[in-house]
Each structure stands twice: as C-alpha cells, then as structure tokens.
Amino acid sequence: MTDDDLPIVDAHHHLWDLDGPIRYPWLTSVENRSHLGDYSRFRRSYLPPEYRRDTALHNVVATVHVEAECDRSQQVAETEWLTGIHAQHGFPNAIVAHAWVDTPDAEEIVAKQKTFPLVRGIRTKPVIASGPSDSVRGQPRSLQDPKWRQGLTLLEKYDLSWDLRVPWYHLEEAAEVCREHPGLRVALNHTGYPLDRSREQLAVWRRGMEALASCPNVWCKVSGLTVRDQPWTLAVNGSVIREAIGIFGIWRCMLASNHPVDGVKASWDWIYTQFKDVTVGYAPDDRRRLFAGNALAFYRIALPAA
C-alpha cells in the first residue's frame, strides 16, 4: 500500500452554509479574532464539494463532523441539516452534536440529538480561563461546577461520547472530570491545544496530557496544531505530534484536519501530507490505526463492504 492509498478517516472537521438558515455568530462577527488571527479566510460557506476538492489527493473513506458552534437555539437543526448532507453526499459518517448538560432542557436536547442515526457523541464546552495565569475555578459551567459535572452522566445514559475541548492549562483539571466518569468515552480535541510552545508551558501541557492519558476512557485527536506567528511545519509541530502519540499510545490517537478552521495555517492536503511524513517510520498496522482504524472504532463507524 502506498501513502496515496492509505485509508483516512478525518476525525474532526466542520461544514457550514452561511447563506442557509443555520446561523454561526462567531463566523459572521466582523470583529471576531482568535489565537489564529483573523478568521476572514474561512468566513464563508464550506460545503461538501469544496471538502472533496481539498481532499482529492488522499483516500478519505469516512469523516466525523463536529458541531460548528452554531446559534445554540439551532443545535438540533444543525444536526438535521448534516443528516441531509450525508444523504446527498455520503458524508459525514458520524456526527458529534452539541448540547448543554447543565440547563433545564439538557436531557430533552440530548435525547433529540440521539434520535439522529449518525450522532455518536456530544461536544459541550466548559468555561475556560483566558490564559494560564487566569482562573475560572468554581464558576458555573467550569470544570469544577458540580451541576455541570453531574450533567455529563446524561451522555453515559444515552450512550454518547464526549468531545472535550480545553486549552493546555486546563488539561489536569479535565482529567479530574474524566476520572469521575470512567464509563464515559472521551475524545480530547486538538492535541490539548498546546498553543504556547515555550518550555514552561509545554511542561504544563505534558503534565496535563499524561494525566488524561492515565484515564483509559480518554482518547486523543491529533489536530488543531496552529500556533500564532508560526507556520504549520513539522519543525514546529513534529515533536508535539510524536509526543502526543507516545503519551496516549497508538491505540488511543486519531488524526484529524479541523478544516476549514486550520486552513488559516495550511491546506488539508499539506496537513495530511505532514501526518504521513511524521509517521513514515511507524509499522503499517499502526499507521492504519492512526489514520483510520481508531476513529472508526471510537465513533462506531461501519464502512460499506468493498
């Protein structure tokens, strides 16, 4: 098998239609900025034909769509829209939908999301601090909030996984939550977001990754490797990729594009070419797990028979 033939399951990407009925306030805000810089490069519709063009040089066999922070009153409507996209285009093959777990209607929304056959998990984000020197400890919807932590049991009740997205300085706190819910399958998003590559902050990231990896129910998505004022290259990201895989192990890591968001730094083709380059010395079976097999298992995706 050549690298061109290597099966890929993109474990984390987004689609949106800014001309459609689903609203994305974070995309349409003129003032919006992020750790990446200006979002204007993807403040436009991103739909299946463009995703297919972006991935044309690779053997993408399935994808996982993760909720794209639409207007929260439309969280179920987003899932319904994606279900229609799958019917028309054959992907995404699994959906990670959105639901709060600490609101009065939390179970109602989780139950509605579960009715869609492609929904495999929920992404519900805790409140995060603005930086490693700040704290939101104990605030409502923080990682220490008892109501929010108890709400995660809804995901276990409905047999849904949790996509966890917090930056590197919250990883050790997140591990406490994961230990409290050993039956909840958890996918850490974006390599734990190691956005600050200073020696001091990489040590914080490393401790947090090791804490999460000690929880057997937590898997890691290797993605989101965007650093302000740095290019997406293996000189910048190669050691982080290798270390993340080393910490979690081959069996609990999935590769993902986070496109179109990570497109502010690199094309889909570039990111996956670098993934292939950085793993070139791995055993063939291990590469197949990283690029496809683990995502198929975690998100319970059944590929059609060849």
Q: Please, what is the average pLDDT of the chain? A: 94
> pLDDT of 10-28, one tens digit each?
999 999 999 999 999 988 8
For the chain, how many residues are written?
A: 306
In a domain, 236, yes or no: yes
Q: Say what the pLDDT of residue 36 is.
A: 64
In a domain, 212, yes or no: yes
Q: Say what the pLDDT of residue 1 is.
A: 57
> pLDDT of 50-98, one tens digit each?
999 999 999 999 999 999 999 999 999 999 999 999 999 999 999 999 9
Q: What is the CATH number of the domain that holds 208?
A: 3.20.20.140
Q: Say what the pLDDT of residue 306 is.
A: 61
59-66/253-255 β-pairing: unpaired
> pLDDT of 149-205, one tens digit each?
999 999 999 999 999 999 999 999 999 999 999 999 999 999 999 999 999 999 999
pTM of this structure: 0.96
Examine the pLDDT at 30 and tell me if it is beyond 60. Answer: no
> Average pLDDT in the 127-140 region?
90
For residue 38, name the pLDDT band (cuts at 50, 70, 90).
low
In a domain, 37, yes or no: yes
In a domain, 304, yes or no: no
In a domain, 306, yes or no: no
Q: Are 66 and 12 contacting, i.e. CB atoms less than 8 angstroms apart? A: yes
Number of domains in the chain: 1
In a domain, 66, yes or no: yes
* Burial track 54-78 (b if 16+ CB lie within 10 A, e otherwise): bbeebebbbbbbbbbbbeeebbbeb
| Residue range(s) defining the domain that contains residue 219 | 3-298
